[in-house]
Structure 1
Amino acid sequence: MVKRNYSDALQTLCRNRAGSMEVFTYFDLAAAVGAQTKTIANIVQEWEQRELVERLGKGPKNRLQFKTTTKGRAQFALAESGQSKPSVSPEKNMWTAMRMLKVFSPEDVAVQARTEAVDITLEQARTFCRMLVRGHEPYLKVRRTAVPGRRDAAYQLIRDTGPLPPREARVRAIYDPNLVAFTHVPEPTQ
């Protein structure tokens, strides 16, 4: 098996979620952290080789179940100490919901992304969806147009770039009103 390196943020998120679950499957953990099931399967298989989790066999829907071992709980707690909890934001929750749903409306996103810690309004979901449709490389495709006062638009995620949500940013530029043009727009930084 080829060993892959995953980001520290994803590893931390997976450790925190797995440590808080009594029993979990690849699918449970993938849904909890907003990552691809295949990626989570690779991480959990590496944990199994290091005896941090143990395989319990197949459970509901014929899915492999795992639980954290004593060694795993100790190591996860050790890794967690000194690190802050991953931040939770409405945008992160909405982005994760969009990544899991095939076709959705802003109402679907608001309902799926709402948690005890983060309350999401329908207007926040609409605004986030409209932002992701804009630009020359949109993230969402409109599947059904909105009818004002009757129904919201339906969208489909067409550009999934990873677990972190895209965000709007302001860019400083130089505008010359004599030329009616921008004379300098800085290059994007990576």
Structure 2
Amino acid sequence: MIRRARRIVTKDELPELEAKAWEIVQRIGVFGHAELAVELSVSPRHIPPMVRKWLEEGRVQIKIHQAKGQRARFEPTFEYREPKDRISQVAHQLWTAMRGLKKFTPTDLAAHCREDLRVTVPEASAYAQALLRGEYLRVLQRAAPDQKREATYQLLKNTGPRAPCEKRVVALWDPNEGVFSYVTGVGRMERAK
């Protein structure tokens, strides 16, 4: 078995090391001290202080407590876990912006999103409309297209850090009986008598 050399990191290199470690954590999810040390090719002594700092900041949580013969395992907390698909990332950014603003327009929401996502005003508007249908928002001021004024919203229901998302439901429709025989998430449907 060939082992990579593990190097000692200087104090000046610690911020860069932490940034690389965080990228690895985002990629692998559940981790232990040993995995990070091996991935970074550094001495294992650099890892515990970094993980303790993340625990204090709330960036990670303990998944498995250290027990006899078993090492502690950690995972990013939900707020710091990167969603994989763009739609989830956009919804998360828009929801986070809504939770922080007292009132907002779709332009405000798009402006508060990460630049690399390139969230458009129509996307922000569509998300706000979905939440309005779900009674998460209320309209403070209606849109006036003739005056080029957007609607202004206020968040009514702040249910937590996870962004509510629209989902498409697959269903099996039987036109002979005029009923849905199966709905995803609900299961088999019986005809009402």
TM-score (norm 1): 0.51
1:73 Cα offset (Å): 3.6
Equivalent residue letter for 2:127 = F
Gaps of 5+ in 1: 1-18, 21-70
Q: State the distance in 2 between where 1:95 and 1:188 align.
A: 27
- 1:132 — aligned with what? 131
* 1:170 corresponds to which of 162, 165, 168: 168
Aligned counterparts, 1:26-105, within 5 A: 72-73=49-50, 75-76=52-53, 86-87=81-82, 89-105=89-105
1:118 Cα offset (Å): 2.5
Q: State the distance in 1 between where 2:106 and 2:124 align.
A: 5
Distance 1:147 1:157, change over 3 A: same
CA displacement 1:52-85 (0-9 Å, x = unmatched): xxxxxxxxxxxxxxxxxxx854523696998577
Structure 2 residue 174 is matched with structure 1 residue 141 = no
Task: Among all aligned residue pairs of Structure 1 and Structure 2, give the percentage whose two residues are the same amino acid.
Answer: 34
- 1:118 — aligned with what? 117
Q: State the distance in 1 between where 2:119 and 2:158 align.
A: 21
Q: State the distance in 1 between where 2:124 and 2:51 align.
A: 39
Query: Secondary structure at 2:108's aligned position in 1?
Result: helix
Q: State the distance in 1 between where 2:51 and 2:94 align.
A: 32
Equivalent residue letter for 1:175 = W
TM-score (norm 2): 0.50
1:95 Cα offset (Å): 0.5
1:183 Cα offset (Å): 4.2
CA RMSD of aligned residues (A): 3.4
Distance 1:106 1:188, change over 3 A: farther
1:187 Cα offset (Å): 4.8
Gaps of 5+ in 2: 1-17, 20-47, 62-72, 84-88, 188-193
Aligned counterparts, 1:149-164, within 5 A: 149=146, 150-164=148-162
1:107 Cα offset (Å): 0.7
Equivalent residue letter for 1:91 = A
Distance 1:119 1:186, change over 3 A: closer
CA displacement 1:78-136 (0-9 Å, x = unmatched): 969985772151211110000011111101111122x24332111111111111112xx
Of 144-153 and 97-106, more deviation after overlay is shown by 144-153
